Amino acid sequence: MALIISIILSLFLSSPWNVLIIVAGVLVEVAEVTWGLRLARKWRPRMGPETMIGMRAEVVTPCRPSGQVRVNGELWEATCATGLDVGETAIVKRMDGLTLTVEPAPAAASVKT
């Protein structure tokens, strides 16, 4: 955008200034692209099954030992060794295929925000 503006401005300025305006526009564009690439590398999207580990899950059907939980609005099959009732909060510990292994959440983590 800065380069386009500098090209338009250079049409209205005299000889030494129009070249300086275009050079300044190019420098601003290079800085903007460099800044954008740094942000793109820094904020990589997280995806895959490993992102579910440690997330909170709400029990939808009783997990004794298998049931269903809701994670980020999605229903998942789940197993729980200790057993959980409907409405309780669990923490995802492992993912085996499309089945989550969950454990009861600590008392402080079960409070909904």
Banded model confidence at residue 110, pLDDT cuts 50, 70, 90: very low
Task: Please write the tens of the pLDDT for every residue from 79-94.
Answer: 999 989 999 999 999 9
Residue 111: the pLDDT is 45
Work out the percent of the chain whose per-residue pLDDT is above 90: 58
The model carries a pTM of 0.56
Residues 6 or more apart whose CB falls under 8 angstroms from that of 54 comprise 91, 92
State the pLDDT at residue 35.
95
pLDDT on residue 107: 75
- What is d(CA 68, CA 73) in angstroms, rounded to the nearest whole number? 12
Tens of pLDDT, residues 25-68 = 999 999 999 999 999 888 877 777 778 899 999 999 999 899 99
**Domain chopping of the chain, boundaries:** 2-42, 49-104
Q: Decide which of 3.30.230.10, 3.40.50.10420, 2.40.50.140, 3.30.1360.30 is the CATH code for 49-104.
A: 2.40.50.140
Whole-number pLDDT of residue 108 = 60
Name residue 89's beta-bridge partners. Answer: 58
